[in-house]
Amino acid sequence: MQPEPLEVEIYDDAEVPGLARVVGLFAKAPDATLLDVLAEAFGATPFSVTEQTQRTFTALTTLPGEAAAKALAEAIEAMEPPPYGVGAFEIEDDSGLWEVGSYFLDQPDAGMLDALGTAHGAKPFAISELPEIDWVAKVRRELAPVEAGRFFVFGSHDADRAADLGSDRVALQIEATVAFGTGHHGTTLGCLRAFDRLFSAGFAPVKVADIGCGTAVLAMAAAAVLPDALVLASDIDQVAVDVARANVAINGLDGRIECMEAAGFAHPRLAEAAPFDLVFANILKGPLIELAPPMAAHLALGGLCILSGLLVVQAEAVTAAYVAAGFDPAGREDIGEWSTLVMRRL
């Protein structure tokens, strides 16, 4: 996957016999949606992604032979303080050498590393501290605005560009946060494009729901161009709901969007407001398929739902589930490896 992890480790779960843990170390923030897709595909629990703010040290060496390299890696794993990750990789230059790399959250014992290296026939370790980088600030600076039809999604660092937009454009300020949906991902971009096309064609829903709203960028897009519409946004994660409310306030949409914590449509306010004319659901394949019957129950006849969070190879399965629930395909766009579907309630 991109960005590539620095290290991936698999080890037995000490607390739950029979389970294994998979840990990846990334220098840049990984694609959380792709991680969730992979977890779902392999029957794993959702990934927990955290930012490591501690000091990080690397220790690298080379030595001949796979067996010796793996033996050295195992010896390093038993060190105190323990490494965060250890890996042994063949150097692809026909030299027969292997590289053993390890990552520590505390200063490693250089003497112990040298002793282990000598015992296994390795060259002296090169130990270095990785520079401290505020990755959130760095990512925010490097994120370019996203343009999806009339919608211009930007971070605060591009506020001057947003101020220069014409009156026919809709600017939405979204920062890179722990909630999903800055507009840069192919799924969010696909949903914005789909809605922009529908609105340009005269579609003006009166009731809109954003299920699994994340940052609420889709709900805000609807509220911005539909001043008289009722717009509800829900997410299963309270952190996302808090982020959504903050974004609604930043964009001057207080009182226009109701944000709530809910799993799918399981909230009294959503039940009360139904049926909806438009529903966004930018989640994952499994939850999308499970949502098909409730979607049919909460969407008005002739209403539309915009679905994403699924890979191109998963689009047919999701489409089939919605056709079986009483929907007709009304549009599709593939952006890279991600697909966005538009389905009409029959």
What's the rounded Cα separation, in Å, for the pair 29 and 331?
32
312: DSSP letter: G
What is the domain range of residue 84? 57-129
Q: Which pLDDT value is given to residue 105?
A: 82
Is 153 contained in some domain? no
* H or E stretch covering 87: strand 85-90
Q: Is 254 known as a binding-site position?
A: no
| Polymer length in residues for the chain | 346
Assess if residue 161 is contained within a domain: no
Same domain, residue pair 290 and 207: yes
**What's the pLDDT score for residue 15?**
45
Tell me: do 48 and 105 sit in the same domain. Answer: no
Q: What is the pLDDT of residue 284?
A: 87
Question: How much is the pLDDT for 24?
Answer: 72
Q: Is residue 75 part of a domain?
A: yes
Residues 6+ apart with CB under 8 A from 29: 3, 49, 51, 135, 139, 176
Interior CA angle at 221 toward 215 and 226, to 5°? 140
The answer to whether residues 223 and 294 belong to one domain is: yes
What's the N-to-C CA distance of the chain in angstroms?
A: 39
**What is residue 139's predicted lDDT score, i.e. its pLDDT?**
47
Q: Do the Cβ atoms of 11 and 20 come closer than 8 Å?
A: yes
- Residue 288 covered by a domain: yes
What is the predicted pLDDT for the residue at 17? 53
Whether 247 has a binding-site annotation, put simply, is no
Same domain, 93 and 13: no
Q: What is the pLDDT of residue 34?
A: 75
Out of 104, 129, 154, a domain closes at 129
Domain assignment present for 158: no
107 and 28 co-located in one domain: no
Of 113, 129, 145, the last residue of a domain is 129
In order, the DSSP letters of 233-279 are EEES-HHHHHHHHHHHHHTT-TTTEEEEE-STT-SHHHHHHPSEEEE
Same domain, 199 and 300: yes
pLDDT at 51: 62
Type and span of the H or E element at 324? helix 315-324
pLDDT, position 131? 61
- Residue 236 maps to which CATH number? 3.40.50.150
> Which SS3 state, helix, strand or coil, does residue 209 take?
strand
Residue 134: the pLDDT is: 52
Are residue 186 and residue 328 in the same domain, yes or no? Answer: yes
Q: How many whole angstroms from its chain centre is CA 74?
A: 33
Same domain, 325 and 190: yes
Tell me the mean pLDDT per 10 residues along the chain, length 346: 64 52 68 74 71 73 93 91 82 83 87 94 88 52 76 85 90 68 72 98 98 95 98 93 93 97 97 98 93 98 96 94 98 93 98
My answer on whether 234 and 300 are in the same domain is yes
At 83 the pLDDT is: 86
Does residue 272 sit in the same domain as residue 189? yes
What torsion do the CA atoms of 201, 172, 240, 13 make, to the nearest 10 degrees?
90
Q: Is 164 annotated as a binding residue?
A: no
Is the domain of 74 the same as that of 209?
A: no
Q: What is the pLDDT of residue 14?
A: 43
Query: Do 40 and 69 have their domain in common?
Result: no
The string of DSSP letters for 136-186 reads HHHHHHHPPPEEETTEEEE-GGGHHHHHT--TT-EEEE----SSS--S-SH
154 falls within a domain = no
pLDDT of residue 16: 47
Q: Any idea what the CATH number is for the domain that residue 124 is in? A: 3.30.70.260
pTM of the model: 0.65
248 belongs to a structural domain: yes
Q: Is 235 annotated as a binding residue?
A: yes
Residue 344's pLDDT is what? 99
Total tally of structural domains belonging to the chain: 3
- How confident is the model at residue 7, as a pLDDT? 59
> Does residue 151 form part of some domain?
no
